[in-house]
Amino acid sequence: MKDQNIIRERYLQDNVPTRLGGLAANLSRINSFSGHDANQETVGRLLDESKLFIEWTAAETEIDTAAELVELQIQLAQWRLDWSRIWVNTSQRRQVAEKAIQWSRRVLELSGLLG
């Protein structure tokens, strides 16, 4: 990942809804990039970055939102821990992609950016 401090400073300039929108976009990218064998490293970086986005944002949200974000962060950490094994298993990788897009939609709902 690029310099974490630079990413953090840039990310924290946005308000919480925009940050959650960025997290939702990352999760959507995980979904789409998982369909191509050459993207293992890229998706791994997106998992790491998404965990950080949650770390930097959850404390500024309502308790119920924070709880869901922590649940997502745990899921991301579990995927990352087994990423090499998951990536080579087409079925497991597809399951991660499907779950990532579900989380993307949920985080977008939590952001309030939909309306």
Tell me the HSE value of 18 on the side-chain side, using a 13 A CA sphere: 6
Q: Please answer whether residues 69 and 57 qualify as being in contact, where contact means their C-beta atoms are separated by less than 8 angstroms.
A: yes
Q: What is the pLDDT of residue 48?
A: 96
Q: Is the pTM of this model over 0.75?
A: yes
Q: How far apart are the C-alpha atoms of 29 and 22, rounded to whole Å?
A: 11
What is the mean pLDDT of the segment spanning 82-96? 97
Q: For all residues of the chain together, what is the average pLDDT?
A: 95
DSSP 61: S
Write out pLDDT tens, residues 10-59. 999 999 999 999 999 999 999 999 999 999 999 999 999 999 999 999 99
Q: How far apart are the C-alpha atoms of 46 and 34, rounded to whole Å?
A: 11
